[in-house]
Amino acid sequence: MHKRTLGKSGLEVSALGFGCMGMSFGFGPPKDRQEMISILRTAVERGITFFDTAEVYGPFINEELVGEALAPVRDRVVIATKFGFDTSVDPRGTKGAPVLNSRPEHIRQVAEASLKRLKTEVIDLFYQHRVDPDVPIEEVAGAVKTLIQEGKVRHFGLSEAGVGTIRRAHAVQPVAALQSEYSLWWRKPETEVIPALEELGIGFVPFSPLGKGFLTGKIDESTSFDSTDFRNVLPRFTPEARKANQALVDLLGTIAARKNATPAQIALAWLLARKPWIVPIPGTTKLERLDENIGAVSLELSAEDLHEIEQAAARIDVQGARYPEKLEQLTGR
């Protein structure tokens, strides 16, 4: 497995990380705990060293799962988790947007609780999950800086933050990585965010690099999701939008056939080719998908391949907002 360094932070991780959320949260009921532990440990054996979780996934059960799975190999892995939601309120925000809380005292409480659940003495990368407009980002960065000085956290990260916020936070405590959605069907970060990250020396960790499963080619307009699957409320996943967006999957499939690869591998290889400090974190609950994702790391896309993808993708107008309005309002602040 190739390694990458997240910006100028010195934080070295596998070129591909592992997003653990779907094992416990978001995509239907929690999966079998022992099976998930086995997959996470297999991922480490295959060379993945970067694992992503959050207190809000469950809440809490995903951190507990990750903590148990990785405890025997803790010295070989980098664990990222997140703060910023009030978990005493509905974390899914099904009655509206989730409630934010990034007050410094709350950040400390979350850190202490996450350390216990993760069975570790230090959090390698601690992200603010969403920017809290009620707490100046300087106070947030300062709170994490104190935790870093105390040895409880190693690196500070932001998620779905806007460029102004990134700059202000970085001035107080260097930001190691930004985690935001980025893929062939959500390219908004290219406009302002990626140039700013490059300028500041901040790594980029794209979540949903496979479009929440859509870019794998395994989902079409007739696919039905479990009633607890949050894709049911995403405008981009209405049957009409899925039908319209099939053109993007067809493009990946055409290139995949020529490369003896899968659409998912092309989508991941495209991301890896964008910048050497980009580390996607696809999630999976299946061993065969883990191996498929890892296969993308050694897949070389030529300049001609990338140009072809660019030209074809430019002609495809992706349909549907990625989030309902109340959730979209939590991003880009």
Positions annotated as catalytic residues are: 57
Burial tier of 41 (Cβ tally within 10 Å: 0-12, 13-18, 19+): middle
Q: How far is CA 32 from the centre of its chain?
A: 22
* Residue 97, CA distances (Å) to 93, 111, 326, 328 in order: 5, 23, 5, 9
- Nearby residues of 327 by Cβ (< 8 Å), 6 or more positions away: 93, 97
- DSSP lists the bridge partners of residue 78 as 50
Amino acid letter, 23: M
As a whole number of angstroms, the longest Cα–Cα distance in the chain is 54
β-bridge partners, 126: 81, 156
CA 177 to centroid of chain Cα atoms: 11
